[in-house]
Amino acid sequence: MIPHRVRPANSCDVNTSGRYVLYWMQAFRRLHANHALDCAVMWSRELKKPLVVFEGLKRNYPWANARHHAFMLDGMQDNAAAAKKLGIAYWPFVETPENSGRGLVRKLAEDACLVVTDDYPAFIVPAHNRAIANCSVPVHLVDGNSIVPLSLLGPAASAAAHLRHRIHANFAEAWRNRAAAEPEIHKSAKSKLDPPFEPWAGDRAGAEVDASVPPVPEVRGGSKAARAALAEFISKKLPRYAEERNDPDDPADGAASRLSPYLRHGHLAIQEIAEAVLGESWSPAEIDPKAKGKRADFYTRDANAGSFLDEAITWRDTGYHWHFAQNVAHGSGTVSWHGEAGSPSFNFESFDFSPLKKRTLEVVLPEWAKATLRKHVGDKREHTYSLEEFESGATHDELWNAAQRELVRTGRIHNYLRMLWGKKVLEWSKTPSDAYRVLEHLNNKYAIDGRDPNSYTGILWCFGLFDRPWFEREVYGTVRYMTSASTAKKFDLDGYMRYVNGLG
């Protein structure tokens, strides 16, 4: 393991009299290809103590509903089976109205030699990690977000082009130090330790979360489903990815990977995806050093594989690294979400869910974007809609309504249309701040891949983050402008509209 992946959250000494090494699985919810798991296994071997994997699921996390819950519970079922095969103690806990589990992780930490957990730079995890750091044993935060450790990528980049060269410079060494495809569990790590609580029974009942956003029947979570989706992508979609990835269509016919929900919930590792795309025989010797910092030809001369990897690594890492750098530099709060009144909203000043009111865009946007949006905040809007109208897809724009229906029904929007979807909410809201709140709410409530670093940076791109000034116009100022009419000219949307209209 590269040392740059591990950050100590406190300076406590190892509790050698502890009963076990605790891995608190928060974000990388899998028992394979997992750097945090490898770290916990290493400590278990060194201390000759059993390994305990704790995976919990709240019932009142921000935007909690049956869709998100079911997807994560599918993953927990797979993890339970994997842990049994490995012979390690897996302690799953799902909150119910009768048992909130408040303080449970801290109690488990008291009996541990040390705690290993995921260094995930978004949503409720940063606040969780700052809170558990106050326990009496060491807490090690392990970055398993990307192939290249985020701490090696320097200060936050203002564009993907600025980060690409840094990723390329560190890629070969990081590739040689990937997580173990399957963990090597030594004898002392194995145990049948029982948890000091009633563990989850393995079904979807009892949590009583918001049922108004139901699971998507045709989309299951978990590592098994993730690997099946990856295999389908490699065989059917990757061979035409470069040419067709932006074309909106029925997902069965399109080239988009549809892997982001599995990455977001940690059921699939980005290294697994890269390994599958590059093939078993690939090695860093195939890297073209002359292509360092370029979109194409760095990893491979295959146009489809190269195009996909630039999206899956460079563009994905841009969002993750931006969050990581901001969190390390500024994160200070420990307020998670406990069902307070009002809609949740992430606070980028403290990296928790404490109130930020309407200042998010002022905190995160580049100066040019803040200035131009401020200048045009009073511009007349031809159309304005309420949150309820947006949510129900009741605008004047047929294509926007279709994208919103796809999101509500399936938990996804086609990647290109998601950009258009966000841009039009900016145009049709009374203020940019109002538009941001609508987008944060709708995306995080309905999207299965929502509430992750790229959810937020994708939304913020609509307001100018990671972009440059364009031609000035009403409402947008110099922020990039998109229209449904130009999208209809660029793509044949008949297949996409038939697909959405058939969703019911």
Q: Structural domain boundaries of the chain?
A: 3-144, 357-501
Q: Report the C-alpha gap between 57 and 60 in whole angstroms.
A: 9
- The CATH architecture annotation of domain 357-501 reads Orthogonal Bundle (1.10)
Q: Which of 348, 350, 445 is nearest to 390 (CA)?
A: 445
DSSP string for 52-111:
EEEEEE-SSSTT--HHHHHHHHHHHHHHHHHHHHHT-EEEEEE-BTTB--TTHHHHHHHT
pLDDT for 17 equals: 97
Give me the residue label for tokens 């690594």. Answer: 313
First CA to last CA distance, the chain = 49
pLDDT tens digit sequence for 320-371:
999 999 999 888 888 877 655 578 999 999 999 998 878 999 999 999 999 9
- The superfamily in CATH containing domain 3-144 is HUPs (3.40.50.620)
pLDDT for 341 equals: 59
pLDDT tens digit sequence for 78-113:
999 999 999 999 999 999 988 889 999 999 999 999
Same fold, 3-144 and 357-501: no
pLDDT tens digit sequence for 237-271:
999 999 999 999 999 999 999 999 999 999 999 99
Backbone torsion region of residue 206, taken as left when φ is above 0, otherwise alpha when ψ lies between -120 and 50, otherwise beta: left
pLDDT tens digit sequence for 190-229:
999 999 999 999 887 767 899 999 999 999 999 999 999 9
Question: In the sheet where 51-57 sits, what is the strand order?
Answer: 6-8, 139-142, 112-118, 20-25, 51-57, 89-94
> What distances in angstroms separate CA 300 from CA 274, 303, 305, 306, 310, one per listed residue?
11, 8, 7, 6, 11
pLDDT tens digit sequence for 466-476:
999 999 999 99
Q: Is the pLDDT of residue 156 over 90?
A: yes
pLDDT for 206 equals: 65
pLDDT tens digit sequence for 366-406:
999 999 999 999 999 999 999 999 999 999 999 999 999 99
- The pLDDT of 417-438, averaged and rounded, is 98
Amino acid at 11: S
